[in-house]
Amino acid sequence: MTVSLHLARASNGVIGRDGGLPWHLPADLKRFQAQTMGRPMIMGRKTFQSFPAPLPGRRHIVLTRDRDWSAAGAEVAHDRAAALALAGDNSAVIGGADIFALFLDLADRVELTEVHATPEGDTIVPPFTDWREIAREDHPAAGDRPAYSFVTLVR
pLDDT digit string, tens, across residues 84-127 = 999 999 999 999 999 999 999 999 999 999 999 999 999 999 99
> How confident is residue 68, by pLDDT bands cut at 50, 70 and 90?
very high
Per-residue confidence (pLDDT) for residue 22, from 0 to 100: 96
pLDDT digit string, tens, across residues 10-65 = 999 999 999 999 999 999 999 999 999 999 999 999 999 999 999 999 999 999 99
- CA distance from start to end of the chain: 15
Per-residue confidence (pLDDT) for residue 39, from 0 to 100: 97
Per-residue confidence (pLDDT) for residue 80, from 0 to 100: 97
Per-residue confidence (pLDDT) for residue 90, from 0 to 100: 94
Per-residue confidence (pLDDT) for residue 88, from 0 to 100: 95
Q: How far is CA 119 from CA 15, 66, 99, in A?
A: 9, 31, 22
pTM of the predicted structure, to 2 decimals: 0.96
Per-residue confidence (pLDDT) for residue 113, from 0 to 100: 98
Q: Report the domain count for the chain.
A: 1
CATH number at residue 70: 3.40.430.10
Domain that holds residue 144: 2-154
Q: How far is CA 25 from CA 53, 57, 112, 148, in A?
A: 19, 21, 13, 9
Asked whether the beta carbons of 123 and 96 are under 8 A apart, the reply is yes
